Amino acid sequence: MTWRTLKLNPSLKPVIILILGGLVVVAVATLKPAPEPTPVQPPPPVKVAVILAAPSTQSLTVNSQGTVAPRREIDLVAEVSGRITQVDPHFVDGAFVKAHKALVTIDPRDYNVALLRAEAKVADAQQVLATERGRNRQAQREWRDLGNKEANALFLRQPQLAAAQALLQSAQADYEQAQLNLERTNVSVPFDGRIRQTQVDMGQYVTPGTPIASVYDTSVAVIRLPLTDRQIALVDLPLGFDAGNTGAAPDVDSGAGPGPVITTMKKTANPRGPAVSISAIIAGKRYFWQGHIARTEASLDTSTRLYYAIAEVQDPFRVTGNFLNNDQVQAPLIVGLFVEAEIQGRELENVITIPHTALFKRNHIYTLDKQNRVHDKTVTLLHSNGKQAWIRGDLQKGEPIVVGRQSFLSEGIVVSPQIEHKQVAGS
């Protein structure tokens, strides 16, 4: 039997096809070249901007706001009754007045008459006293001529003499009262001031207690400045501070480390109080005035838990320059003006200045070690103005501080620092 004559059973054809296919699959699987592993490249370190820490001694300014008010303001009232017969030309709303200058004159004629009557009573009382003194001396001579050493007080007219002396004192008191009432017909203020509002005018009849005008002192302006507990720790202002007395001032703990600012008490060397720079916008232009903190209020505000410092500006209505010639003008510090204040802070050690963007979670920063590994540090935030922040903490001079991209960082990762030479944390 030859191959050509060999006839396959039709039922074996599918089996043969499967066997041949399996052989092809096995051959493909076993004869293909083995894959070579591709080396994995580590991702490049994240590039971050850093500045170098430079601790230094700095005086931080504390910002606050307030409204200008006079240091003293009084309601001027009439002390005697009568009709107003004369009014000073400066007795108008907003006018400046001098101390002890009569602003309003009440009809003095009745008080002149009363003064003359009181003067006459004094003369009568002096005559009675002189008469009784003469009678007393005469009684003493008569009693001495009788040879008795012990005289009777009534015989010597001592009660009459005492009554005459009391009558003279009473008459003199009435005279002084009449003279005082006459002086009170000229109504004036005891200080140089400015009239806020007048309430009477020529020809009006007034009685004791009638309001004449409200006047405030122009020698000193005061500004009530609210301060938080953190702010007051940066300046020489303990509770109960008074610039007239050399008292105690808070000393901020100069040690590094996180946590609240700790203060101790020490004697202040500046009894005048910290300097304050006052600024406000008048007619579209910003003006500046210089003052100082005079005192603090006696207690905290129970509703806001704020301290209040009182700033004083001497001679607030002084004007320099010429508005018409566009000279350098010092405008008056008007009562009622809303102002901004910068209080000069005390010197603090180991303070580091950083951009505000370097902070996250309010008081956390990222620093780098020598291997450029990231470390999360908690610091003490002393002050911030929105652009810069002043901190203290466990930081060494020259230690890199990350100033951005904190959301891409975590503790322990390695980064590529890019030093910003234009910004050095410290000065």
Q: How many Cα atoms occupy the beta-carbon half-sphere of 354 within 13 Å?
A: 36
pLDDT of residue 426: 56
Q: 151 vs 134, 138, 142, 155, 164, CA distance in Å?
A: 17, 13, 10, 7, 20
pLDDT bracket for residue 382 (50, 70, 90)? confident
Q: Percentage of the chain with pLDDT > 90? A: 39
pLDDT tens track for 113-171: 999 999 999 999 998 888 888 877 777 776 666 666 566 666 667 788 888 889 899 99
Q: What is the pLDDT of residue 254?
A: 39
**pLDDT for residue 329 is more than 90:** no
263-304, pLDDT tens digit by residue? 433 444 446 788 999 999 988 889 999 999 998 888 888 898
What is residue 20's predicted lDDT score, i.e. its pLDDT?
75
The predicted model gives 383-408 an average pLDDT of 86
**Domain 61-70+219-347 is of which CATH architecture?**
Beta Barrel (2.40)
User: How much is the pLDDT for 251?
Assistant: 45
Q: What is the pLDDT of residue 411?
A: 87
Q: In the chain, where are the structural domains located?
A: 47-59+350-419, 61-70+219-347, 74-217
Tens of pLDDT along 243-258?
665 444 444 443 434 4
pLDDT at residue 297 in the model = 87
- Tell me the pLDDT band of 6, cut-offs 50, 70 and 90: very low
pLDDT interval class at 21 (50, 70, 90)? confident
* Mean pLDDT along residues 19-31: 71
What pLDDT is recorded for position 325? 53
| pLDDT reading at 23 higher than 50 | yes
Mean pLDDT computed over 227-239: 81
Q: Which residues of 355-367 are buried (b: 16+ CB within 10 A; e: fewer)?
A: beebbeeebbbbb
Question: If DSSP states are collapsed to H, E and C, what string results for the chain?
Answer: CCCCCCCCCHHHHHHHHHHHHHHHHHHHHHHCCCCCCCCCCCCCCEEEEEEEECCEEEEEEEEEEEEEEECCEEEEECCCCEEEEEECCCCCCCCEECCCCCCEEECCHHHHHHHHHHHHHHHHHHHHHHHHHHHHHHHHHHHHHCCCCCCCCCCCCHHHHHHHHHHHHHHHHHHHHHHHHHHCCEECCCCCEEEEEECCCCCCEECCCCEEEEEEECCEEEEEEEECHHHHCCCCCCCCCECCCCCEEEEECCCCCCCCCCEEEEECCCCCCCEEEEEEEECCEEEEEEEEEEEECCCCCCCCCCEEEEEEEECCCCCECCCCCCCCCECCCCCCCEEEEEEEEEEEEEEEEEEHHHCECCCEEEEECCCCEEEEEECEEEEECCCEEEEECCCCCCCEEECCCHHHCCCCCEEEEEECCCCCECC
* pLDDT score of 150: 63
DSSP codes of every residue in 276-291: EEEEEEETTEEEEEEE
Rg (CA), the chain: 47
Which residue, among 236, 316, 292, has the nearest Cα to 268 in the 3D structure? 236
Percent of the chain with pLDDT over 70: 79
Per-residue pLDDT averaged across 176-181, rounded?
A: 95
pLDDT at 362: 86
pTM: 0.70
Tell me how far apart the alpha carbons of residues 343 and 275 are, in angstroms, rounded to a whole number.
Answer: 6
Q: What is the pLDDT of residue 145?
A: 62
CB atoms within 10 A of CB 198: 20
pLDDT at 102: 94
The verdict on domain 74-217 having CATH code 3.40.50.300 is no
Mean of the per-residue pLDDT values for the chain?
82
CATH number of 47-59+350-419: 2.40.420.20
Identify the pLDDT of residue 247: 44
Q: What is the pLDDT of residue 5?
A: 47
